[in-house]
């Protein structure tokens, strides 16, 4: 019910009919025991579902995140109640009874057992158990009647009904809840130490040797020693010329929980930090090589096999440094937010779509030229990102597209000013000292002044370096707009009109790509920058609101102070000069 994104999932009559057929098919596959156990909850859900599908178009057209009508809340509550009933101990045992009865019924000519087994598998997974291992245990119990953890040598005298009863008891046993910690070993030379929330990044080349009792003390030393004392896991080079299995470690404390799926949960947490950091700042993607799970402080499942490195630059020290800086910059706030609450479902879906869109253009894929398919996929993926963020913020997709479109003119102006500076600093000409001076300040990590003031103060010097005569007039105009509000206002009017054209074209291209209609690649390329702006703006603002714990709808609509001032008639240079005076005044807070 929650994942049926988009109004077409419910507004379209054929889709509602298909959803009803799916539901009827699932219900018809239920066994007699489970059907009797969940009868009341199932009937309540069916009634609420029928009421929803018979609702007027006004209700069915509501997008995810805005569905507050009684029919929506009723069907959602009924669905949660039904799932709660299915997760209970007796419901799992009822599914087991149905599976046994179906397997023993020789009159059945189909594979009626299969959907029952699949449902039981999913029930176990939802209860925090490893369904795969539980089914292996059940095979052992049914075959020999012994405890699933015993070695059944020579045991063959346990009656069948007792074996079935023992298996029924085992399958209905709740998962053990205990402290669970996951250690992940990555390759990638991202050397850093960071601890925030429940996540800790550690340099493996330093930590693994020091995990020995005689080594230096550090946080979580005892846990790491528990894992590396046998010298089979997280091995690092000891001699020149040796290869390390891992370069850095990430410890993820999942708290008191079940151990099933612990690795996947930990990887999702780390991937959230990595994906946001790399999306914002670039860098290479570290490669997960090994892992280990600690249950109540003791080693549980682990993987000491070193998976091969992925494609990319070999020994990309510079890219690894970018990644380390990105994690240091963004990681602590993200880790703290993830410790506070789980990443909301729709925001997680938006991040996943954006990561897929970014991947062909990342540093890891620099040895491969992006194809037309890679570039074309940006348009529908960007659209999906915005729709997911809209659902997260309880906004209609069209409303969010309109909000983001209002941010476009100023953002486009900033980008064009930066492009103009880049054209002047191409390195063509003989004025090397001036070029070095300007390039040094432009690329400095900690510049002495805001970059717009740099443009305003050094525009003459920048123009003197410009050797692209065909662009000189445009560059001069862009530089002038930093200090001349009338010039800025004229450019904003142009960018606003441009945005309206691009939005209409983006929708047309998106529909063509999604529905398989032919479209010109040149048209696709013409809206790529605009589509990327929409998705990045939506994701960045939505994620920032999550990190800060603020309302996402307000964050998506908020304008920066600079934009508000410039819309009120102030030019960019004057705004930043006033800001510097305010910061320098006695009693003012440092920025």
Number of other CB atoms surrounding residue 7 within 10 Å: 16
Q: Would residue 187 be called left, alpha or beta, if left means φ above 0 and alpha means ψ between -120 and 50 degrees?
A: beta
Q: How far is CA 553 from CA 352, 557, 567, in A?
A: 20, 6, 22
What does the buried/exposed string (b/e) look like for 213-246 if buried means 16 or more CB atoms within 10 Å of the residue's CB? Answer: eeeeeeebbebbebbbeeeebbbbeeeeeeebbb
**123 close to 86: Cβ distance less than 8 angstroms:** yes
Instruction: Render 387-410 in DSSP notation, one character per residue.
Output: HHHHHHTT--HHHHHHHHHHHHHH
Give the long-range contacts of residues 221-228, CB within 8 A, separation 24 or more: 223/181, 223/183, 223/251, 223/294, 223/297, 224/183, 224/249, 226/294, 226/297, 226/298, 226/299, 227/183, 227/292, 227/294, 227/299, 227/302
* CA 519, chain centre distance (Å): 30
Tokens of 429: 């000409």
**137 close to 148: Cβ distance less than 8 angstroms:** yes
Beta strands in 76-197 (DSSP E): 178-187, 194-196
What pLDDT, on a 0 to 100 scale, did the predictor assign at position 307?
66
What pLDDT, on a 0 to 100 scale, did the predictor assign at position 155?
60
What pLDDT, on a 0 to 100 scale, did the predictor assign at position 590?
43
Q: How far is CA 408 from CA 393, 394, 503, in A?
A: 20, 22, 10
Which residues of the chain are modeled with pLDDT < 50?
A: 589-591
Give the C-alpha separation, 295 to 181, whole Å: 7
Residues in the chain: 591
Give the C-alpha separation, 403 to 557, whole Å: 6
What pLDDT, on a 0 to 100 scale, did the predictor assign at position 303?
77
**542 close to 350: Cβ distance less than 8 angstroms:** yes
- The predicted-structure confidence for 146-186, as pLDDT tens digits, reads as follows 666 666 555 667 788 888 998 999 999 999 999 999 999 99
Give the C-alpha separation, 495 to 491, whole Å: 6
Q: What is the pTM of this model?
A: 0.85
What pLDDT, on a 0 to 100 scale, did the predictor assign at position 189?
79
- The predicted-structure confidence for 352-395, as pLDDT tens digits, reads as follows 999 999 999 988 887 788 999 999 999 999 999 999 999 899 88
Give the C-alpha separation, 268 to 393, whole Å: 22
What pLDDT, on a 0 to 100 scale, did the predictor assign at position 243?
82
Give the C-alpha separation, 532 to 381, whole Å: 9
What pLDDT, on a 0 to 100 scale, did the predictor assign at position 591?
39
The helix-helix angle for 451-465 and 432-442 (nearest 10°) equals 160
Find the radius of gyration of the CA atoms of the chain: 30
Q: What is the mean pLDDT of the chain?
A: 89
Give the C-alpha separation, 567 to 488, whole Å: 10
SS (H, E, C) 409-425: HHHHHHHHHHHHHHHHC
What pLDDT, on a 0 to 100 scale, did the predictor assign at position 230?
86
Give the long-range contacts of residues 297-302, CB within 8 A, separation 24 or more: 297/179, 297/223, 297/226, 298/226, 299/226, 299/227, 300/259, 301/259, 301/263, 302/227, 302/233
Say if residue 125 is exposed, middle or buried (CB neighbours under 10 Å; 0-12, 13-18, 19+): middle
Instruction: Render 424-442 in DSSP notation, one character per residue.
Output: HTS--SS-HHHHHHHHHHH
């Amino acid at each position: 019910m929650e994942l049926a994104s988009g109004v077409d999932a419910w507004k379209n009559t054929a889709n509602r009919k298909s959803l009803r057929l799916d539901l009827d098919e699932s219900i018809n596959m239920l066994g007699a025991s489970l059907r009797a156990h969940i009868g009341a909850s199932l009937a309540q859900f069916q009634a609420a579902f029928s009421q929803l599908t018979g609702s007027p178009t006004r209700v069915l057209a509501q997008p995810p995140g805005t569905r507050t009508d009684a029919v929506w809340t009723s069907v959602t509550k009924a669905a949660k109640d039904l799932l709660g009933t299915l997760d209970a101990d007796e419901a799992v045992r009822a599914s087991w009874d149905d599976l046994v009865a179906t397997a023993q019924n020789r009159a059945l000519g189909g594979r009626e057992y299969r959907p029952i087994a699949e449902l039981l598998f999913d029930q176990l997974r939802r209860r925090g158990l490893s369904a795969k291992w539980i089914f292996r245990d059940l095979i052992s119990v049914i075959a020999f009647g012994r405890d699933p953890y015993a070695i059944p040598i020579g045991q063959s005298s346990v009656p069948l009904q007792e074996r079935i009863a023992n298996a029924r008891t085992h399958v209905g046993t709740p998962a053990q809840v205990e402290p669970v910690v996951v250690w992940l070993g990555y390759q990638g030379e991202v050397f850093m130490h960071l601890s925030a929330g429940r996540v800790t990044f550690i340099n493996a080349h330093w930590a693994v040797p020091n995990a020995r009792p005689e080594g230096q003390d550090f946080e979580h030393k005892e846990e790491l020693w528990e894992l590396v004392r046998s010298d089979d896991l997280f091995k690092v080079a000891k001699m020149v010329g040796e290869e390390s299995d891992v370069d850095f470690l990430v410890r993820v404390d999942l708290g008191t929980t079940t151990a099933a799926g612990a690795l996947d949960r930990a990887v999702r947490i780390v991937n959230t930090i990595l994906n946001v950091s790399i999306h914002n700042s670039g860098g290479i993607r570290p490669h997960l090589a090994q892992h280990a799970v600690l249950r109540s402080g003791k080693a549980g499942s682990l993987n000491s096999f070193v998976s091969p490195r992925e494609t990319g630059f070999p020994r990309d020290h510079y890219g690894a440094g970018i990644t380390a800086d990105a994690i240091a910059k963004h990681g602590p706030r993200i880790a703290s937010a993830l410790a506070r609450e789980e990443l909301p479902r729709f925001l997680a879906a938006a991040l996943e779509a954006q990561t897929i869109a970014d991947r062909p253009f990342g540093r890891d894929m620099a040895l491969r030229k992006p194809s037309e398919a890679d570039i074309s996929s940006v348009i529908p993926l960007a659209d999906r990102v915005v729709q997911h963020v809209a659902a997260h913020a309880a906004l209609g997709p069209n409303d969010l597209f309109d909000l983001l479109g209002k941010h476009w003119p100023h953002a486009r102006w900033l980008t064009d000013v930066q492009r103009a500076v880049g054209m002047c600093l191409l390195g063509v000409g003989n004025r090397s000292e001036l070029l070095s001076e300007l390039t040094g300040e432009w690329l400095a990590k900690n510049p002495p002044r805001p970059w717009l003031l740099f443009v305003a103060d050094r525009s003459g010097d920048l123009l003197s370096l410009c050797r692209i005569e065909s662009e000189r007039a445009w560059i001069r105009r862009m530089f002038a707009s930093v200090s001349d509000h009338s010039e800025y206002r004229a450019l904003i009017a142009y960018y606003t009109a441009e945005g309206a054209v691009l939005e209409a074209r983006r929708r047309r291209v998106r529909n063509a790509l999604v529905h398989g209609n032919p479209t010109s690649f040149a048209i696709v390329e013409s809206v790529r920058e605009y589509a990327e702006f929409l998705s990045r703006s939506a994701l960045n603002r939505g994620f920032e609101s999550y990190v800060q714990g603020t309302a996402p709808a307000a964050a998506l609509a908020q304008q920066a102070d600079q934009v508000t001032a410039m819309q009120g008639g102030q030019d960019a240079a004057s705004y930043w000069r006033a800001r510097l005076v305010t910061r320098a005044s006695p009693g003012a807070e440092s920025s």
